[in-house]
Amino acid sequence: MRLATIRTPGGTRCVRVDGDTAVETGHPDVGALLADPAWRSVAEAADGPRHPAADLDHAPVVPRPGKIICVGVNYRAHVAEMGRDVPEHPTLFAKYAEALIGARDDIVLPAASEAVDWEAELAVVIGARVRHADAATAEAAIAGFSVLNDVTARDWQYRTLQWLQGKTFEATTPFGPELVTADEAGTGLALSCAVDGEPVQSATTDDLVFGAVETIAYVSTILTLQPGDVIALGTPGGVGHARQPPRYLTDGSVLTTSIAGLGECRNTCVAET
């Protein structure tokens, strides 16, 4: 099953996407749907107003997650290009909902940064409350997966040992277009990123150091994960900051982030004014 949050003249709506048609579920967004413990059967039975899928205006798939937890240096190839050792534990940082944009929205390049980089990522969306999870419980808590790009202001990220300030500039993080439920998403997903049509990242999720289940179990040891929370699992090799010379996004750049079977975000970069 595929779910999305779309913008309509009456506000945002959660929809189930059935091929070329999107059917409203009766909820304002995917996060509100997931708050219902029976969300799956409710979504499957939904028979609300319909929209042509080709005309949808996608909001972030979960517009205001309670938590956005990100994992750094989590692909072996990216660990190598950044000159780091493979971590023993997940490297965690946070984002805030103000950073999120939809799958076709503009990325706002912050005026304060001269080093905005791309980071294509697989996002996990939580579908059930989970705390102190073992592997089976963690797997059962996954509602589905989506596409995310952890666009990063590198010059701000490395101002201190803490990365938060470079990771959550407003209107920088594409997230969508859809949530694909775990039973349909598959494994070993091919992930790619392109800038102005030029491929810059290509990997599969088999290269992850810590996968979705391991990460959920780890994070749930620290705090309770709630329906609608998001975990971004890190980026593979090919980021601009690691290139010689470094390469960054500029005004007018088109950033395309794709994961096989999940969809694509295609976002134009615009300078903050």
Residues of the chain with pLDDT under 70: none
Peptide bond into 52 cis (omega under 30): no
Number of domains the chain is built from: 2
Task: Clarify whether residues 129 and 33 are in a common domain.
Answer: no
Give dist(CA 176, CA 59) in Å, integer.
8
- Domain hosting residue 46, numbered range: 1-57
Task: Clarify whether residues 48 and 76 are in a common domain.
Answer: no
Task: Clarify whether residues 104 and 188 are in a common domain.
Answer: yes
Give dist(CA 171, CA 247) in Å, integer.
21
How do strand 173-181 and strand 2-8 relate by DSSP bridges?
antiparallel
* End position of a domain, from candidates 15, 33, 57: 57
Q: What is the pLDDT of residue 85?
A: 83
Calculate what percentage of the chain has a pLDDT beyond 90: 94
CB 202, CB 238: distance < 8 Å: yes
Q: What is the pLDDT of residue 61?
A: 98
Task: Clarify whether residues 33 and 159 are in a common domain.
Answer: no
Number of alpha carbons in the 13 Å side-chain half-sphere of residue 114:
1
pLDDT tens track for 35-93: 999 999 999 999 999 999 999 999 999 999 999 999 998 988 878 877 778 889 999 99
Helix (H, G, I), strand (E, B) or coil at 43: helix
Task: Clarify whether residues 120 and 240 are in a common domain.
Answer: yes
Give dist(CA 33, CA 94) in Å, integer.
23
Task: Clarify whether residues 14 and 110 are in a common domain.
Answer: no
Cα 72 → chain centroid: 13
Task: Clarify whether residues 71 and 169 are in a common domain.
Answer: yes
CB 55, CB 69: distance < 8 Å: no
Task: Clarify whether residues 154 and 215 are in a common domain.
Answer: yes
Tokens of 42: 């409710």
How do strand 190-195 and strand 107-109 relate by DSSP bridges?
unpaired
Q: What is the pLDDT of residue 80?
A: 81
Task: Clarify whether residues 52 and 66 are in a common domain.
Answer: no
Peptide bond into 63 cis (omega under 30): no
